[in-house]
Amino acid sequence: MLRLLRLLSILPVQFLCSRRDLVLENLVLRQQLSVLRRRRPQPRFAATDRLFWVILRRLWSGWKRALILVQPETIVRWHRAGFKMYWTWISRHKTRVGRKCVSGELQQLIFRMVAENSTWGAPRIHGELKMLGFDISERTVLRWMRRAPRGSEPAKRWAAFLNNHREAIAAMDFFTVPTLTFGVLYCFFVIAHDRRRILHCNVTRHPTSEWVIQQLREAFPFDLASGYLIFDRGSNFNQEVLDTVKSFGVEPKRTSFRSPWQNGVAERWVGNCRRDLLDHVVVLNERHLKRLMSEYVRYYHDDRTHLALAKGTPAGREAQQIPDAGCKVVSTPRLGGLHHRYDLAA
């Protein structure tokens, strides 16, 4: 009796399932027939057709038996493409949760603090950011500190050293000057870092170490020597020159190989001298160059303004009062008219 009841309950279900499969199969065949009827050289499936097969794959387990125009792998590929498009669309409209992302402005501020303060750790930088009103954790600060660029650190440390000891630092260097007869003259100079003053300047054809030692004696008379003297690794600055520098009570500081930026004050003066004077004249001989350099050093000290000195001069040129209406301004030529100095008429 129980078996009969079970059989009677299963028969309607099987009948309905077979009826459902028959309806779906007819629907599938009609859909493929409509694709074949389209006037094209080769039947192509539109986006709606692909969507139809993707949905049918999820509703009917026997969908593979009715396929004629496409392969089952194609339907699977369409389904995966639709899955990707669906979740891409969902991710674009996803609402963010948790902490806010660190903005680009805050990242650059952290990088700036790391570059400007080489001894600071995450607690110090986090404290500064907290004082500025930024809501960020110390752990996040540490993570971004590890991503900070480190390329300019040696230059920053060297610049800080020069800035903290500029009153006690001098630098010396050579630069070459071609002559009218295709010869080469060597110009030697010593410059102080505090006010960019030229302590000594001279010209020679033979820059030997003995000649350099004599120039240093003239540059540092009596007890006026600086605490440090920066120079490069030229062959002119040999061990005898180092011993002479130490005898003055000055500590020599050689720059690294191929690092002219470590002697930036001297290199800047060489560039100024060339742009202001040497690029505009043809040097005749040693005597001619000495006269030109003497005039340029005088102009450099008394008249030429400097960005590093807040638009002042090494000799401390005083700014004049605001001129009255109609007051006459007098120009005085310097270096043969290459440059001029301007003053108010008395």
Same-domain status, 201 and 288: yes
Q: 198 falls in which pLDDT band (50, 70, 90)? A: very high
- Residue 252 maps to a domain: yes
Question: What phi and psi values does residue 334 have, to the nearest 5 degrees?
Answer: -130, 145
Listed residues 282, 302, 322: the one ending a domain: 302
Q: Are 31 and 49 in contact (CB under 8 A)?
A: yes
Cα–Cα distance for residue pair 330/269, rounded to 1 Å: 28
Residue 3 has pLDDT above 50, yes or no: no
Cα–Cα distance for residue pair 212/227, rounded to 1 Å: 19
Same-domain status, 178 and 114: no
Q: Residue 296: name the closest of 318, 317, 281 by CA.
A: 281
Same-domain status, 270 and 293: yes
Q: Give the number of other Cβ atoms within 10 Å of residue 195's Cβ.
A: 17
For 59, what's the count of Cα atoms within 13 Å in the CB-facing half-sphere? 14
Same-domain status, 129 and 217: no
Query: How many whole angstroms from its chain centre is CA 321?
Result: 42
Structurally, the chain folds into a number of domains equal to 3
Residue 4 has pLDDT above 80, yes or no: no
What is the average pLDDT score of the chain?
A: 80
Same-domain status, 63 and 22: yes
Same-domain status, 20 and 50: yes
- Residue 276: give its domain's CATH number: 3.30.420.10
Q: Give the number of other Cβ atoms within 10 Å of residue 250's Cβ.
A: 19
- Residue 327 maps to a domain: no
Give residue for tokens 């004629």.
68
Residue 29 has pLDDT above 70, yes or no: no
Query: How many whole angstroms from its chain centre is CA 249?
Result: 40
Q: Residue 135: name the closest of 122, 126, 144, 146 by CA.
A: 126
Same-domain status, 174 and 254: yes
Same-domain status, 180 and 251: yes
**pLDDT at res. 267:** 95
- Residue 43 maps to a domain: yes
> In this predicted model, which residue has the larger pLDDT, 216 or 90?
216
Q: Helix count (H) and strand count (E) of the chain?
A: 11, 7
Domain span at residue 133 reads 104-150
Q: In percent, how much of the chain has pLDDT > 90?
A: 32
Same-domain status, 141 and 176: no
- Copy the structure tokens of residue 65: 């038996």
- Copy the structure tokens of residue 13: 């279900």
- Residue 323 maps to a domain: no
**pLDDT at res. 18:** 63
